[in-house]
Amino acid sequence: MDISPILVIGATGKTGARVADRLEAKGHAVRRGTRHAEIPFDWDNAQSWAPALAGVAKAYVTYFPDLAFPGAVEKVAEFCALAKTSGLEHLVLLSGRGEHHAQEGEAVVRASGIDFTLVRSAWFAQNFSEGYLHDPILGGVLPMPGGDVVEPIIDVEDIADVVVAALTEDGHRGALYEVTGPRLVSFAEMAAALSEAIGRPVQHVPISFEDFHANVAASGGDFVADVFTAIARETLDGRNAHLADGVMQALGRPPRDFTDYARNAAAAGAWNAAA
């Protein structure tokens, strides 16, 4: 086992926290790349990158809040150039399915000269329990644009398993894993599964992209709302309404179903009123 630490950028995020915990449970040294870590990492402070990369051979890279944010791809390119000169040997990038900015980020990694694995993900199930949709779900509504579009929503636990396999096992370098759940699900069907799991009604409320923008802006500001609304407009047009087999390719097993995610999250107290 390598004794050098594995850098996990975004180690407090939905995927990063799970990846870091799994790596440590397997006995790997982990350098948690966050702003407040002992050796901090901050995408907005390029001076923090070299110390975070020092002595690191492998890294899991996520860009918060999204690769679609202005300047994100350029920062990833700058980071990759530094990582190459720092001796990084293998980089696993989290990318977004159907997002052209994310695929620009993938291209940067492919051209970096560093061995890579690309994990191109569908929409996160955990957005309902750990993200900006938690409070609406707690209030009994699922307000989403996109009408009757179906999405192969994925459990973040599967993403973490794929990333850990890519970082710790042979045979994953140069791979692109497009990861989705096992079936296509509409937002109305997601609401029904959440209702059953939580034991209280959750109603899908179709909204316009303008209303979606207003909802996000109320909690995250106009700049964040502009980007997330642009992503929603781009990806909730049916382009992602098909399955991919990245989880099976990487792990040799099928992905978890949304109903199992909903039951597990409810049992863990994700939507308890006091949470």
Q: Is the pLDDT of residue 29 over 80?
A: yes
Q: Is the pLDDT of residue 2 over 70?
A: no
Q: Is the pLDDT of residue 273 over 80?
A: no
Q: Is the pLDDT of residue 44 over 90?
A: yes
Q: Is the pLDDT of residue 275 over 80?
A: no
For residue 227, the model assigns a pLDDT of: 84
What are the pLDDT digits (tens) for 104-162?
A: 999 999 999 999 999 999 999 999 999 878 989 999 999 999 989 999 999 999 999 99
Mean pLDDT in the chain? 95
- Side-chain-side CA neighbours of 94 within 13 Å: the count stands at 29
Superfamily assignment of 6-121 in CATH? NAD(P)-binding Rossmann-like Domain (3.40.50.720)
CB atoms within 10 A of CB 169: 10
**Identical fold at 6-121 and 124-155+180-241+256-275?**
no
Average pLDDT of span 241-269: 98
> How do the domains of the chain map onto residue ranges?
6-121, 124-155+180-241+256-275
Q: Is the pLDDT of residue 1 over 70?
A: no
- Name the residue with higher pLDDT: 125 or 65: 125
For residue 238, the model assigns a pLDDT of: 93
8 A C-beta contact, residue 236 and residue 143: no
- 124-155+180-241+256-275: in CATH 3.30.930.10: no
The pTM for the full model equals: 0.95
